[in-house]
Chains A and B, each alone.
Chain A
Amino acid sequence: MTTTSPPTTASTPTVVHRRSRRRWTGWMFVGPFMAVFALVFLAPIVYSLYLSVFRTQMVGGTTFVGLDNYARAMSDPQFWEGLGRVSLFLVVQVPIMLGIALLVALAIDSGRLYGKSFFRISIFMPYAVPAVVASLMWGFMYGTRFGLVGNLNEALGISLPDPLSPGLVLASIGNIVTWEFVGYNMLIFYAALRVVPHSLYEAAEIDGAGQWRVIGAIKLPAIRGALVIATIFSIIGSFQLFNEPSILQSLAPNAITTAFTPNLYAYSLSFSGQQYNYSATVAIIMGLITMVIAYVVQLRGMRKEA
């Protein structure tokens, strides 16, 4: 991070010239990224802020309405229902997924498994499966027509509850998301565990610490950074929930409404309802909520370290 000036001091006349040029060479490398970044990240953010303070009507055209759209969202039961649903999803699915991922990472890292690299790569594999394919596969398996649920009902003469019914569809989506990302999170934890110096474990063992104690006192604190990062990514993912419910919609049209998650709501507002201004408002509110929660998690996670 320090400026790389010392070596040029020998050639006095060029020092000033080379130095100033080098100061800006960083921009030659980061410039292309920032240019595209401005186009696809910054400009849309600014544009949606702009959209959110206007209203377009068939009669009367576009008018400035200040924070009216935000007020409308605050009292919109459909928005709150969707937000409540993804919050429930977040509170239940994320701990289960990260818990399984952490246990598997610890098991693989412990070196006590037979064939650990087979475990590692196989459990990670679902990450390579597109959300569309994962949702279709699980959707078929859930189905009572030719799915495993239907098979079980037939074979055992029982009637399992339909995973795609309104009461269970959120849990079924949670299962799909867990399946997709357990391996990915496991790999993040495992990579962090790998760099913990093994001499620490040996020292702890000499002191008579058992495996669970080693995990609690050494391994978990050592990978706190990875735990925080994975939690933040999972929170963002939960609030953004869109792909899985959107694809399952054709299999369970009655259980998944157009406002099932805030993102589905924003999507249907603008693409079936043409309400671009209100849709942008919903998206901004969701973005703000996500950022605040991610920030709080980061602060809490990092403070414990001190």
Chain B
Amino acid sequence: MTTATPAAPAAARRPAPRLRTPRVPSARPRRSTLLTVLTAIVLVYSLIPLVWLLINATKTQGDLFSSFGLWFGDSFALWDNVATTLTYDDGVFVRWLANTVLYVVVGAGGATFLAILGGYALAKFDFPGKRGVFAVVIGAVAVPGTALAVPTFLMFSQMGLTNTPWAVIIPSLISPFGLYLMWTFAAEAIPTELLEAARIDGAGEFRTFFRVSLPLLAPGIVTVLLFTMVATWNNYFLPLIMLRDSSWYPLTLGLNAWNAQAATAGGEAIFNLVITGSLLTIVPLVVAFLLLQRFWQSGLAAGSVKE
């Protein structure tokens, strides 16, 4: 990184005093191979486990033990592994996938919807108790989620909600971070004059919200949706506590159960299925992040302006 420094001022300093404005287009700093190589170390670190996962998903259980971890084995068993993963134990993996999708659609979708409404209210309305709402929500962010897990479990078990999908969905509906992001985003993205204009034209508050505000919030919504989706898709602790019946498991719990199966007496070791199942679990999120890059990156940038 050190060699990068002398080059830039030398290039920049000379013409600067004379022509300030024309220099702007050439203000693009020179690329540095050394800096690229150094950053590439972190890149390799980030990608190696994913590469490992991809390679090992192509191996049979025998090859897993006999071949080098970062290269392919004798057989190419990816499609066999995928087929076995999907059909093992009467297709329980597909059931877990369906559960996860249910939790994500209802939980993350609901969380995003509540965050949009709440963030919009905090950004664009003045109402009694607004400061209180704000203080309580910010304070709650600092409370460790796991500190709440045991009492939530006991409460839910008295309400008869444990071991049902609701026990996973209801707590996922609240995303303080999503509320915060929507609040900062709505404050920036919706001009108050526009709301005034809509009201003068006689539009009701909900009509104004759906017709005028919602479209302007789109990049922020995509961002919040992605982050709540990741949170629910990756959720482990909450379902671990709430669910006993494996037919309601999400993928994360299911994979862990498969992995633990090898350690139990008489359990069949199915590491190739754990690895292939892991790969299938992360593919949808990776694809979603890649496809929606433009949206969430601008949304995140807007959220950080306030900081």
Contacts and interface: CB of A to CB of B under 8 A. Distances in A.
Interface of A: 1-4, 7, 22-30, 32-34, 36-37, 39-45, 47-48, 51, 100, 104, 107-108, 110-115, 119, 121-134, 136-138, 140-141, 145-148, 151, 155, 179, 182-183, 187-188, 191-192, 194-195, 198, 202, 205-206, 208-212, 223, 225-226, 229, 232, 236, 239-240, 242-243, 246-247, 250, 253, 263, 266-267, 270-271, 276, 279-280, 283-284, 286-287, 290-291, 294-295
Given A45-B151, A247-B256, 11 more contacts: A30-B127, A41-B143, A104-B42, A133-B282, A134-B49, A148-B69, A179-B46, A212-B5, A226-B304, A250-B259, A286-B144
B117 A287 contact: no
B174 interface: yes
Given A112-B29, A132-B255, A146 B65 contact: yes
Contact of A119 (B30, B39, B120, B151): B39
Contact of A138 (B16, B27, B49, B64): B49
Interface string B229-252: 010011011001100000000011
B35 interface: yes
Interface in B222-278: 230, 233-234, 236-237, 240-241, 251-253, 255-256, 259-260, 263, 271, 274-275, 278
Interface of B: 1, 4-6, 8-9, 12-13, 16-17, 20, 27-33, 35-36, 38-40, 42-43, 45-47, 49-50, 52-53, 56, 64-65, 68-70, 114-115, 117-118, 120-122, 125-130, 133, 136-137, 139-140, 142-155, 170-171, 173-174, 179, 192, 195-196, 199-200, 205, 209, 230, 233-234, 236-237, 240-241, 251-253, 255-256, 259-260, 263, 271, 274-275, 278, 281-282, 285-286, 288-290, 293, 297, 300-301, 303-305, 307
A33 B42 contact: no
Contacts of B293: 121
A91 B236 CA distance: 25
Contacts of A100: 42
A29 B253 CA distance: 35
A35 B27 CA distance: 52
B16 A51 contact: no
